[in-house]
Amino acid sequence: MGRALRVGLSACFFHADPTRAIFKGKTLLYAEHGMVDFAMSRGALAVMIPPPGRYEGAATVGTEAMVEELDGLILQGGSDVAPESYGESPLDPAWGGDRVRDVYEIALIEAFMAQGKPILGVCRGLQILNVALGGTLYQDIAAQIPGARVHRDWSIYDENVHDIELSSGSSLEAIYGVGGGVVTSVHHQSVKDVAPGLVVEARSTEDGVIEALGRPRVAASDSWIVGVQWHPEFQQGRSAWLLDSRVLLGAFMEAVEARRALGGGV
């Protein structure tokens, strides 16, 4: 038997903080447990991808070399994308984002695309996909989109849900076979200008905020790329009226398996 499929997870960062009670002054890389469960629920091995660098006992390990060992990428949610990453300055100091993580994830996106391997972006993952390919973001929905619904409510967090409409003819509509559904909403930023090569796959029914993007594939060797603004890992195993996370994961894993069958890397 061949090895299990390996799905890479982009790491979340807690940067060095001299005031933190544990791991004082140390940088932490982590994965949210629900995301690990989600990624491994179809039998794949989830591998959190460290930033490239020099590790004890090994030569310099580059992004491309790490990607060669993996079959697909899931970009986790988390901190804001830094406005500098799409040519803007923060409108509020609180929206400064994480430029270090942006650089790391953009390099991952470029490497996985160069090797034709599938990418699924979740929440921030949708946003950094759009930025990596040349798009921009609203730094804060409430401040920049008049009349928008509340997309992030800290007090109820992933209990905050709303309806979405899947774009007619989109890949998400094809895999779900329905025109819409109900999803979690835990974000205060969203897509503004859609990157060249990406298409809108879903919008919030109430206010039109973009909820999913995809990249049409021209050749079988092109990366399967979908980004969703909601959190499928938060929806897994919850109420039946939420959009079924297993369908999205199934489509991603089918793309991963198909790419593996083509021979993996370039």
Given the residues 105, 201, 211, 233, select the one marked as catalytic. 233
Establish whether 123 is a catalytic residue: yes
Closest CA to 184 of 229, 250, 146: 229
Q: What angle do CA 216, 5, 8 make, to 5 degrees?
A: 70
Establish whether 33 is a catalytic residue: no
Given the residues 151, 162, 188, 231, select the one marked as catalytic. 231
Positions of E strands within the chain: 6-10, 12-14, 28-30, 45-49, 72-75, 119-122, 137-138, 161-166, 180-184, 190-191, 199-204, 210-215, 225-228
Given the residues 12, 105, 123, 151, select the one marked as catalytic. 123
How many CB atoms within 10 Å of residue 247? Answer: 16
| Cα 127 to Cα 117: distance, rounded to the nearest angstrom | 19
> Where would I find the H helices in the chain?
33-40, 63-68, 99-114, 124-132, 141-144, 171-176, 232-235, 245-262
- Here the tokens at position 233 are 């890992």
At 3, the amino acid letter reads R
Establish whether 201 is a catalytic residue: no
Which residues form the catalytic set? 123, 231, 233
